[in-house]
Amino acid sequence: MNVVAEALAWVMDPEKWSGPSGIGPRLVEHIGYVGLTLAIAVAIAVPIGIAIGHTGRGREVVVPFTGALRALPTLGLVTLLALLLGNGIVPPLIALVVLAIPPILAGTYSGIEAIDPDTRGAARAIGFTTGQSVWRVELPLALPLIAGGIRSAALQVIATWTVAAFLPLGGLGRFLIDGLAVRDYAQMLGGSIVVIALALAADLVFILIERVITPRGVRAQR
């Protein structure tokens, strides 16, 4: 239990939080990377998912593709792109966006597909155009499942940016990778505790968001 005490002392030490490579700035970097990755992935995956769910076309292309992506090792993809495209944040960002797309895509098209055809018919019957039906009926009904997809993607992205610290990048993974290099287990364990806390906090925030954005009518049915 000695090592745990040392790691907690490391996390609690105010000096470790400040400075350009302190826990505070690394935490901000990590959240920034994750937010950027998710924003790009959402901007790509949600429109495609809506199109697939709404038209029912393209499913047979996308489903096996997203399944195959699951088998791809994230560390391999990140290191390979870094070698091929050079240093900086862009190569790992591309790799992580690719990894974040499948769960968001799956959440979106299954959310739209799950809508009762009668509901969609009713929207058309009261005079909604296709665009209005998508924006004002289908999207709000699909939101909980879309948020669920973003939640899975977020957890995966938080984990993979930690692993990506193997490259010369910022983020919380630095403490884990650098700690191992100098055999400073207290720093590795302390850094791990901060990453785990971040992941669990993100998970809880997404659970709350899913609750809040579930339309009242849908909630009543469940």
Partner 1 sequence: MTWLLANLDQVAQYALQHLVLAVLPTVIGAALSLPLGWLASRHRVGRGVLLSASGLLYAIPSLPLFIVMPALIGTQILDPINVVVALSFYALALMLRTSADALASVDADLRLAATAVGFAGRQRFWGVELPTAGPVLLAGLRVVSVSTVSLVTVGALVGVQSLGYFFVDGYQRGFALEIAVGVVGTVVIALALDALIVLAGRALMPWTRKGAR
Query: Would you say the C-alpha torsion 166, 168, 96, 71 has a positive or negative sign?
Result: negative
**Least distance from partner 1 to the Cβ atom of residue 84, Å:** 6
Number of residues that bind partner 1 (CB under 8 A): 40
Q: Scan residues 148-177 and list those touching partner 1 (CB under 8 A).
A: 155, 158-159, 162-163, 166-167, 173, 176-177
Decide if residue 106 touches partner 1 (CB under 8 A): no
Decide if residue 215 touches partner 1 (CB under 8 A): no
Where helices occur in 72-172 by DSSP H, the ranges are 74-85, 90-113, 117-125, 130-133, 139-163
Residue carrying structure tokens 């870094």:
82
Cα maximum dimension of the chain: 69
Using CB under 8 A, which of 113, 178, 203, 210 touches partner 1?
203
Using CB under 8 A, which of 15, 20, 60, 71 touches partner 1?
71
Using CB under 8 A, which of 61, 83, 90, 212 touches partner 1?
83
Using CB under 8 A, which of 196, 212, 213, 218 touches partner 1?
196
Which is nearest to 150 in space by CA: 183, 179, 111, 176?
Answer: 111
The two tokens of residue 91 are: 């190569």
Which is nearest to 44 in space by CA: 96, 115, 110?
Answer: 96
Decide if residue 103 touches partner 1 (CB under 8 A): no
